[in-house]
Structure 1
Amino acid sequence: MLKKLINIVVLVPLGIILIVLSVANRQAVTLAFNPFNPADSLLSVSAPFFVFLFLAVIVGLILGAGVTWLSQGKYRRRARNEANEASKWHREAEKQRSQAEKLASQTPLPAPQN
């Protein structure tokens, strides 16, 4: 519930801001990738400004997700190791249980004494 509330509080205003900026910045701009000759048409892209805004947001989301994923690697590794260890102990317990049942079925029960 809290995660949904935080998403609403953060994402809705961000979406509104992006929509307002998109409507307000429809004029074409040129993004030049050649710092020595900005007029070079081979290394420049012309598009409405809001396209560059959306691309910046998308690149930021992807980079942020990647950094978060990489920073949480130690926790995923620990969880994987603990899951493997738990599985190993579960198999050992099953093996011990089957051996105990096998011994119980082989050993005859003593006759009750009166």
Structure 2
Amino acid sequence: MNKLKLGWLKLTEWLTPPRKIIEVHDELPPSKLPTRDLFLLREDGEAWSVIMRCPCGCGHPVELPLIHEAHPHWTLQVDKKGHPTLAPSVWRREGCRAHYFLRGGKVVWV
């Protein structure tokens, strides 16, 4: 990602409100993803995956498994305002190759 685009993404992230979690109690992810927010997929009360659009602007879906049996897997924390934090970082190795953290609903670019 070039420096100009990265600078634009950082500025946009600073100016926009934090992302929030939208819980979905279904087996399949919704066909249409929101522009900024994340879907938390639950089945039988257990959170198993988070899906969102890539924040770089490419629009590709990013699905992150939360279950410990999956490798790799992520952990999700949601604060009282509904702002998500994911660990570890998200690094798309193909396509746009975006690399970022999600902290308190805000993308922190690497």
Q: TM-score band, normalised by the shorter chain?
A: under 0.3
Q: Between Structure 1 and Structure 2, whose CA radius of gyration is higher?
A: 1
Task: Tell me which of the two structures has the higher relative contact order, counting C-alpha pairs closer than 8 angstroms and 6 or more residues apart.
Answer: 2
Please give the TM-score of this superposition, normalised by the length of structure 1: 0.25
Please give the TM-score of this superposition, normalised by the length of structure 2: 0.25
Give the structure with the higher percent strand. 2
Give the structure with the higher percent helix. 1
